[in-house]
């Protein structure tokens, strides 16, 4: 039985559809990246899974219980920017959350503060916290009652590179203990360093669900533009014509060639074999993030 299940989830706001027949199954202990550009429907989906809003159609299950239901007691959430009482310290905010959960000892507050590296800031009032510190405190609150499931929405917002790496380490440690983690992000490079499985959505629909390496492979198959400059511009032009490669002159001695990512090494070898001495080879246009976003927008089918 999946720990997290979404069955045909739909959420409409008037005539606008934020989530469109979304299906999802996540097993115990999985650390899954929920990926999509801003506005794709990630936060709306997480809010439905957490029982914060009701779906327009379909339903969700957590730990085998229909949402909303008993399963939510075992869920830790950090959805949208975490909110706290600003006039209270971080520790007192956690103490209040522990009281709401019930049966959470004070020693657990110390544990989670240390886990997110906030033990030296627990006595400060939250109004003095940076955004990154509030994000850490939000994760501490989500972990406070030792949940079996974590639903996290952009948990590294506002963190510096060191802080992002520490949160990644924390989430891996939590998942290694058997906690099921669904973590959303709009940044592919960030998710790439954290998870093995990715669920990518656009316009509220799942367009990819599978191993991260398969998504990367699909991106690598996209057409890219390579800019070439040679010591002998005429030799480069002649070679490109001979290879029957579609090319465009940029300026004197420089050409752009459109081809698949996988074909680039072969093109360079062929040019060298034809005696072309290249001075510059530069890929232009989309980076990994841009290619990923374009892939989502041009592919309307589930993977």
Same domain assignment for residues 84 and 147: yes
CATH code of the domain in which 94 resides:
3.40.50.300
55 phi/psi in degrees, rounded to 5:
-70, 155
Task: Give yes or no: residues 126 and 254 share one domain.
Answer: no
For the stretch 94-111, pLDDT in tens is 999 999 988 889 899 999
What is the pLDDT averaged over residues 80-100?
93
**Are residues 274 and 222 in contact, defined by beta-carbon separation less than 8 angstroms?**
no
Answer yes or no: is 37 within a domain: yes
Evaluate if residue 286 carries a pLDDT over 60.
no
Kindly state the average pLDDT of the residues 135-151: 95
Residues 138 and 196 in one domain: yes
Residues 254 and 182 in one domain: no
- Residues 13 and 17: their CA atoms lie apart, in Å, by 6
pLDDT digits (tens, 9 = 90+) for 174-199: 999 999 999 998 888 788 889 989 99
Confidence label for 1 from pLDDT (cuts 50, 70 and 90): confident
* Number of domains the chain is built from: 2
**Which CATH number belongs to the domain containing residue 278 in this structure?**
3.30.70.1150
Domain range for residue 73? 4-218
pLDDT of residue 297: 67
Q: What pLDDT is recorded for position 291?
A: 66
Does 199 reside within a domain?
Answer: yes
Q: Are 268 and 219 in contact (CB under 8 A)?
A: no
Query: What is the predicted pLDDT for the residue at 7?
Result: 96
Residue carrying structure tokens 């522990």: 98
- 263 — pLDDT class (breaks 50, 70, 90): confident
Do residues 102 and 119 share a domain? yes
Domain shared by 148 and 68, yes or no: yes
Q: What are phi and psi of 137, to 5 degrees?
A: -65, -35
Residues 228, 210 share a domain: no
pLDDT classification of 301: cutoffs 50, 70, 90: very low
Residue 104 lies in a domain: yes
In the prediction, which pLDDT does 206 show? 93
The predicted structure's pLDDT at residue 158:
81
φ/ψ bin of 253: left (φ > 0), alpha (ψ from -120 to 50), beta (otherwise):
left
Cβ burial, residue 193 (10 Å; 0-12/13-18/19+): exposed
pLDDT at residue 299 in the model: 57
Say whether both 105 and 244 belong to one domain: no
Whether residues 127 and 263 fall in one domain: no
Please check whether residue 90 lies inside any domain of the structure.
Answer: yes
**Nearest alpha carbon to residue 7 among 49, 35, 53:** 49
- Tell me if 292 is assigned to some domain: no
Q: What is the DSSP string of 220-263?
A: HTSEEEEEEEESSHHHHHHHHHHTT--EEEEETTEEEEEEEGGG
The rounded distance, in Å, linking the Cα atoms of 65 and 71 is 5
State mean pLDDT over 65-91.
92
Residues 213 and 233 both lie in one domain: no
Which residue did the predictor score with more confidence, 32 or 250?
32
Indicate whether 194 and 256 sit together in one domain: no
| Domain assignment present for 247 | yes
Rounded Cα distance, 73 and 178, in Å: 17
Asked whether the predicted pLDDT for residue 288 surpasses 70, the reply is no
The single-letter DSSP state of residue 147 is -
> 147 pLDDT exceeds 60?
yes
- Assign 287 a pLDDT band (cuts: 50, 70, 90): low
In a domain, 213, yes or no: yes
Residue with tokens 């032009």: 237
**Does 196 lie in the same domain as 119?**
yes
More confident residue, 224 or 109: 109
What would you measure as the largest C-alpha separation in the chain, in angstroms? 79
Q: Is residue 296 part of a domain?
A: no
Rounded CA separation 257/247 (Å): 5
Chain-wide mean pLDDT for the chain? 88
Cα–Cα distance between 187 and 165 in angstroms, integer?
14
By DSSP bridging, strand 149-153 and strand 278-284 are unpaired
pLDDT surpassing 50 at residue 136: yes
């Amino acid at each position: 039985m999946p720990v997290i299940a979404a069955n045909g989830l739909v959420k409409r706001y008037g005539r606008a559809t934020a989530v469109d027949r979304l299906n999802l199954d996540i097993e115990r202990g999985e650390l899954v990246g929920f990926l999509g550009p801003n506005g794709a429907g990630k936060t709306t989906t997480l809010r439905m899974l957490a029982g914060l809003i009701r779906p327009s159609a379909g339903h969700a299950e957590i730990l085998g219980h229909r949402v909303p239901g008993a399963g939510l007691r075992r869920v830790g959430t950090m959805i949208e920017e975490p909110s706290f009482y600003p006039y209270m310290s971080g520790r007192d905010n956690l103490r209040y959350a522990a009281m709401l959960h019930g049966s959470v000892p004070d020693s657990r507050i110390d544990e989670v503060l240390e886990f997110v590296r906030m033990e030296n800031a627990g006595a400060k009032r939250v109004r003095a916290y940076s955004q990154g510190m509030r994000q850490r405190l939000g994760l501490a609150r989500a972990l406070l009652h030792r949940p079996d499931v974590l639903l996290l929405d952009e948990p590294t917002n506002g963190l510096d590179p060191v802080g992002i790496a520490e949160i990644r380490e924390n989430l891996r440690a939590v998942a290694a203990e058997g906690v099921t983690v669904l973590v959303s992000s709009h940044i592919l490079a960030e998710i790439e360093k954290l998870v093995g499985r990715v669920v990518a959505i656009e316009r509220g629909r799942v367009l990819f669900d599978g191993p991260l390496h398969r998504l990367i492979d699909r991106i690598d198959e996209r057409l890219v533009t390579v800019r070439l400059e040679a010591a002998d511009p005429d030799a480069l032009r002649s070679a490109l014509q001979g290879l029957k490669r579609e090319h465009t002159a940029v300026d004197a001695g420089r050409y752009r060639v459109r081809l698949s990512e996988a074909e680039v090494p072969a093109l360079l070898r062929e040019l060298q074999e034809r005696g072309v001495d290249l001075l510059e080879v530069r890929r232009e246009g989309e980076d990994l993030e841009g290619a990923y976003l374009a892939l989502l927008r041009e592919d309307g089918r589930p993977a």
